[in-house]
Structure 1
């Protein structure tokens, strides 16, 4: 029996709202329609401000509703443009916008904003949201969840397979007898920050600006000393660590230590940041028996980044998930459509081996 689910995802890059309509049967999963809508520019600035500055409860509450309205607007456009009858949709899987992820504190939590009550009130479709809380309550990281979906999609393939998603952060899924996975660290987030700071563009298309520069090897060594990179899994991260303030502090410390020798052009910093993403990923892949690396996410569209990754992993075959019949751009939106399906059918998501939770859980809250 076919059921139809919509997945909605806006990641740490804050570059858009991806929406995917998926048909799910007992033994098959198909992406039927997809679209991406711009993330409201003013809302993006508000989100970034909330992440990087003290804010009031009033501001958080208003931002929660504002993002809910933004998701609802995008969904209404999607339903209209694709001529989808809302009565045919079993549920919407809404991840929401992460503003803080703190699974290791005295009182662990992860906050995603985007009021699901607003979305279901506007669309008239049930919504599944708050996917991360139960895993954290059971002692897990609450992230990444993509490995469970990657296992569902690709576990039938032969060989030593890993899946790499490069969004704002990068996460690695290692498929095998026991599913493993974790955030390797920064993906696009620092490169996006740096190019936006120095030009009127949100990202470095095809890595062209980075390619025009020369990486500073000594600076790269300093950046790689960030304790997160050497931390053992399970682990997860986000903008609460890797952000503009982190980068500026690293640059200032490096300049102070090398007062007489440090002078680097902005494009050389960009080249160094691309190397940071590449090397931090490659170091983790090299710890595994991976022979086939399937890539997805915005970073998979960065030709120069993929070229450098292949050079660092010369013994590994690297392919886009598109070559495996799965959209690399809409992978995460599809994942939350699938997670909504699992929640509606009260299925535990087998993710504890990734997150470190005490047990697998039924994930998500249903908003009728």
Structure 2
């Protein structure tokens, strides 16, 4: 019997709400339908303001919370409309929400995702699971990354040692062993697409560098690259997680000021190399026995980045599509799966990845 769940994901890039309808009745999730709704420019600007400014107006927070929830509910409507499946057939929605604050090392530690699940549940009439990260933080963890448990479920192999790399706004890795019961390392390696996207928007008036074409026209500046890689985050041992709170336009602009004569395309090429090298460094130091690296997330479409990962790593580097799941939908499927874990009262975090004191059932359930 089919077990239908919906996963909603809006990542650090703040470009869209991704939605996937998936059947989780077997070990291998079966994707039924997908859709993506772009986040309007004015809402993205509001989200960035909430994310970057030290002091915010509660009215702005309330507006963004409502707008993301409304956009999510509308996205679910369009997702279901593409199928013959009815609302009553769907067990739950797993909604990640939009992160506006992630400081697990602060006092007090916290991670805040907005997109009111009450509104999503009410407008879709589907039970909604949300606010996944804060329970892990309450257990002493980072609240991120949460996808390693799903990566183990979907990508584990008894025959080869695999490392899963998700390249969204930030990049994270999951180092899998052939032993299903072995502790799993998973952590954020640093910026994925976020700085490349920002620089492309500023200099090219484009939302992202399609195929990495602009980066390919530039030259890597090794002085600037060294300045990037000197950030203490890259040598901090896991468990660790990061976001726009650290790797943002202010961080980048301070680095660029020390190299003011660089051509914009050279900076883009160097940012691409930063992502490639920080991922590779993480694999070399924390997953040195890797036999296969599997890439998912939007970064897989950056040909220059993928070429560099192929060159820098001694083992095969492949897209998750080669293993049965399109790279654009892995995270959304993961949150559908996490919703199932919560509905079934099963843990969704991996303490060996997040640093939590114990496995925990994640999120809150908002009934239809």
- Give the distance between the partners of 1:90 and 1:156, measured in 2 at CA: 29
What runs of 5+ residues in structure 1 fail to find an aligned partner?
256-261
Give the SS at the match of 2:24. strand
Map of 1:263 onto structure 2: 261
Between stretches 40-49 and 227-236, larger displacement belongs to 40-49
Give a deviation string over 1:268-289, Cα, whole Å, max 9, x none. 0101100111111111111221
Within a 5 Å distance, the mapping from 1:94-243 to structure 2 comes to 94-176=95-177, 177-243=182-248
Deviation at 1:157, TM superposition (A): 4.7
- Give the distance between the partners of 1:235 and 1:62, measured in 2 at CA: 31
Give the SS at the match of 1:329. helix
- Give the distance between the partners of 2:35 and 2:82, measured in 1 at CA: 10
CA contact under 8 A between 1:102 and 1:109: conserved in structure 2?
yes
Give the SS at the match of 2:328. coil
CA contact under 8 A between 1:6 and 1:92: conserved in structure 2?
yes
Distance 1:27 1:191, change over 3 A: closer
Within a 5 Å distance, the mapping from 1:204-353 to structure 2 comes to 204-252=209-257, 254-255=258-259, 263-287=261-285, 288=287, 289-313=289-313, 315-353=314-352
Give the SS at the match of 2:30. strand
Deviation at 1:349, TM superposition (A): 2.4
- Give the distance between the partners of 1:361 and 1:299, measured in 2 at CA: 30
Aligned residues: 360
CA contact under 8 A between 1:184 and 1:229: conserved in structure 2?
yes
- Give the distance between the partners of 2:250 and 2:132, measured in 1 at CA: 29
CA contact under 8 A between 1:13 and 1:167: conserved in structure 2?
yes
- Give the distance between the partners of 1:112 and 1:350, measured in 2 at CA: 17
- Give the distance between the partners of 1:67 and 1:41, measured in 2 at CA: 13
CA RMSD of aligned residues (A): 1.1
Deviation at 1:52, TM superposition (A): 1.5
Distance 1:200 1:350, change over 3 A: closer
CA contact under 8 A between 2:27 and 2:154: conserved in structure 1?
no
CA contact under 8 A between 1:40 and 1:70: conserved in structure 2?
no
CA contact under 8 A between 1:136 and 1:357: conserved in structure 2?
yes
Map of 1:18 onto structure 2: 18
Between stretches 166-175 and 14-23, larger displacement belongs to 14-23
Deviation at 1:128, TM superposition (A): 0.2
Map of 2:360 onto structure 1: 361
Distance 1:350 1:38, change over 3 A: closer
Distance 1:221 1:63, change over 3 A: same
Distance 1:364 1:223, change over 3 A: same
Give a deviation string over 1:160-198, Cα, whole Å, max 9, x none. 110000000000000122111100000000000001001
Q: TM-score scaled to structure 2, two decimals?
A: 0.96
Map of 1:259 onto structure 2: none
Deviation at 1:350, TM superposition (A): 4.7
CA contact under 8 A between 1:6 and 1:20: conserved in structure 2?
yes
CA contact under 8 A between 1:166 and 1:297: conserved in structure 2?
yes
- Give the distance between the partners of 1:290 and 1:4, measured in 2 at CA: 34
CA contact under 8 A between 2:349 and 2:362: conserved in structure 1?
no
Give the SS at the match of 2:252. helix
CA contact under 8 A between 2:33 and 2:79: conserved in structure 1?
no
- Give the distance between the partners of 2:227 and 2:349, measured in 1 at CA: 37
